């Protein structure tokens, strides 16, 4: 899952980036409105954390422009201004949630999880494919009700493939979901990760097929969970 942070306070931006990366998200961070607008028009994100008081283009204008595009990621607005009218204006423009600075990181993380869940899984926190279950809230995977031990990358890949079961996902799409701009993606990183993942989910009977030249496809398994 990939998140854009647009925040011009370097200390806050750094704290948010670290905290979300340790929560296994891919994070890009920009410090002004022009860079935010550019990132949002060229990349795909699962969530945007947006400071309203950004230099060059303010957060209100960013939301307006974002809403003209589709599909749009959920937006969590951050602001130092706690004036009621700002909050109302942000929400009217289409922000999905609001936090007033200063705030506690665990609360922000909880809201991030909730927004991503709403945006990606249509509100369901459990994705089921045969005996393979993924709880997107607790970020926990089970096969036949037994917990599976996955690395952060493996979990990320599995999450994307499961959300798009039955559809082909390209390596580029996986890389885009898993890594921020400043992270180095080795050519084989995705292949190695998928290889390991296949072995780990083997007992579930769910298969990840390689579609030559296109990417990967997780087959839908109609067997009942826990059967």
Applying CB under 5 A, which residues contact Ca ion?
8, 51, 53
Q: Which is nearer to Ca ion, 8 or 144 (CB)?
A: 8
Helix (H, G, I), strand (E, B) or coil at 182: coil
Write down the least CB distance from residue 53 to Ca ion, Å.
Answer: 4
Distance from the Cα of residue 122 to its chain's centroid: 14
How far apart, in whole angstroms, are the C-alpha atoms of residue 67 and residue 89? 14
Q: Which is nearer to Ca ion, 7 or 159 (CB)?
A: 7
Write down the least CB distance from residue 8 to Ca ion, Å.
Answer: 5
How far apart, in whole angstroms, are the C-alpha atoms of residue 3 and residue 225? 31
* 79-85 LR contacts (CB < 8 Å, sep 24+): 79/51, 79/52, 79/53, 80/53, 81/52, 81/53
Q: Which is nearer to Ca ion, 33 or 119 (CB)?
A: 33
Write down the least CB distance from residue 132 to Ca ion, Å.
Answer: 43
Write down the least CB distance from residue 25 to Ca ion, Å.
Answer: 22
- Three-state secondary structure readout of 118-170: HHHCCCCCEEEECCEEEECCCCEEEECCEECCCCHHHHHHHHHHHHCCCCEEC
Q: Which is nearer to Ca ion, 51 or 154 (CB)?
A: 51
Q: Which is nearer to Ca ion, 54 or 197 (CB)?
A: 54
Write down the least CB distance from residue 86 to Ca ion, Å.
Answer: 12
84-111 in b/e form (b: 16+ CB < 10 A) is eebbeebeebebbbbeeeeeeeeebbeb
Distance from the Cα of residue 101 to its chain's centroid: 23
Write down the least CB distance from residue 61 to Ca ion, Å.
Answer: 14
Comparing every residue's Cβ against Ca ion, the nearest one is 53
Q: Which is nearer to Ca ion, 100 or 225 (CB)?
A: 100
């Amino acid at each position: 899952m990939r998140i854009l942070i647009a925040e011009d306070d370097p200390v806050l931006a750094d704290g948010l980036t670290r905290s979300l990366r340790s929560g296994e998200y891919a994070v890009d961070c920009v410090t002004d409105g022009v860079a935010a607008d550019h990132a949002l028009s060229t990349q795909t994100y699962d969530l945007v954390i947006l400071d309203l008081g950004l230099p060059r283009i303010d957060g209100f204008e960013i939301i307006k422009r974002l809403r003209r595009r589709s599909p749009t990621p959920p937006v969590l607005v951050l602001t130092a201004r706690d004036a009621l009218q700002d909050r109302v204006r942000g929400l009217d423009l289409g922000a999905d949630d609001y936090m007033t600075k200063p705030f506690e990181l665990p609360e922000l993380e909880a809201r991030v999880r909730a927004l991503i869940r709403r945006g990606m899984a249509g509100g369901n926190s459990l994705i089921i494919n045969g005996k393979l279950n993924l709880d997107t809230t607790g970020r926990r995977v089970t096969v036949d009700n037994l917990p599976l031990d996955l690395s952060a990358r493996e979990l990320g890949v599995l999450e994307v493939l499961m959300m798009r079961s039955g559809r082909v996902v390209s390596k580029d799409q996986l890389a885009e979901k898993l890594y921020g701009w400043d992270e180095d993606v080795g050519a084989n990183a995705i292949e190695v990760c998928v290889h390991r993942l296949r072995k780990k989910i083997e007992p579930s009977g769910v298969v990840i097929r390689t579609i030559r030249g296109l990417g990967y496809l997780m087959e839908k398994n109609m067997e009942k969970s826990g059967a």
